[in-house]
Structure 1
């Protein structure tokens, strides 16, 4: 097995030694190219597609690679993590690294056209003009077409880094995928996640191991569970649902709790940011000003505020859906564990700290009933993807979880 690189920017790429090896080799080749030296053929290319399951670290790997491409420190090990180029690239403030993180449900064509224009420029302070698009699966058809033109005929010093759950046509179009080098990341092992939580975040070994064992291979979720009391409370509330549905009267309170919890999390995440954005926009548009031209500026501010509110609403909707989806993934893991217990399978549980509840459920339900409950969770996730109202989808789900039919 390829040894993991645990220094510089690569230390944050958890449990992906082969991916780090490929990216490090490409960064060396890119450095040779910009300095006029010969490089290994095929090591570096102008467009990359980082794929992998949620929590695998797609965007972290892409940011680390962007930093290595701009690194001015160690020529043999690009991505030192110490130079200004590395630090600003990872932080998203480097002048020649554009990071697109969609706040709403999609990336619009206007946003992508603007980005493509920036990508066509020569780098100002760095070696490359790097465009990093997180959640590239959220590109609209028009945005994907605008990006395709740039990827087909890229400027000599521009690199595109796209992140998506998979390279399936539903996530990234075949035409874009065919022009990218695909780098597939796997789910990090619990041991690798526990190690980074202990080594980098300073958590005690016991807490780190627990969080790593219940996070489903999602590094960010492991950190939240280990450090956030509210995240742990939400998980406990979700995992009480399967055995808590004793009567039909329990269905609607449980549904209400799931939806309200997701709404509360979205409000917490978006509330402070929304207010800060609103105040910044009002100040920029001359709110509170006096004198000539104030009236026309105020009229312009109203239109800009409406546009901001629309984007904030879209962000809140996405945040709520993401929170609800995390709850559904936890539920799916529980029913999967019940099936493992029912058949005596020797496989790690998704929720090892709920082993007693899993055994109790396996004793109450038939395997067929447990499977139908798992299928209902997956069907709810699909319904939410198709824009079914969360309350309707969740009530249908919890009803199915109660009946087992």
Structure 2
């Protein structure tokens, strides 16, 4: 008989964790409710219908955002067409190609068949369905508008995918060119430069300063390759360690927002994500405090998270959120003004939607401008490196040819 782990709270408010053998999740839930315990969480057993499927070579890697968005849209379409939820999940289970996702949907279908709400079935797969997704589904179940909520989720995820794609395209080009430049420079300094250096030493040619520097760098790279590799590894490890600390994350995320060009792009994308996430939650019937808490968890930047937390604290004492956002350097005055108008007119979700649309366009323009500006800069950068190396090697040769011609 499978073993279920659960976490409950008794009448005095004390939280407890334990295990129970049962034939189904519904049996565990009924047994706990019979004891007048408030159920906080029930974890499915590691094997069986409720467990995530593991693929050899891939482990338990969850489906990506695109797969979840397609699932949401298809589930919304089926429910809107009048197909029962259990049957809809069964249809999607057969249709989805990913074996891992099939296993997840299979477990969800088994839980729903046992009487578990869909939102509770989603709780068992936090790597696939985040807190935002689960709360929206719960709001849809409560209001009886699950199909429209799922359509909103799918549209939101598609916009999120589009935003990620824009940021990725903006950052990929300079990274690729930089890696290419480093590779070419390393090849020239460790292969071509030593050969020229040997020829120049045999000819006893006078060496200009630039040639001496190149030869010194070449010798260092050839003799200290392992040291460089270790140094880079240590720097990366220190960065990760520092970023995991709360104070370190604040410092690094603040620096990211202040970077030339890239900082502006990251700020605009953060505002767009905030407006779309917060607006979606508000329009779906989630209360404003819970909406801010969930939105904070999706910010992926400590400075933005701190700003949203301050706004939540202000709202909890009855003050307008816009007053808190006005003190932040993350949100421009236009955003603060639109949020303020939304609070005064009771149309906060509409205003947030307009903010999200505006900053989506701003991100598009920023990406286009960045790509147009980086391309010539990278070409000049790469050409400058190659030019310095060529000049350093051929200047002594020109000097030798000049002496021979005299």
- TM-score normalised over the length of structure 1: 0.21
Q: Which has the larger radius of gyration?
A: 2
- TM-score normalised over the length of structure 2: 0.21
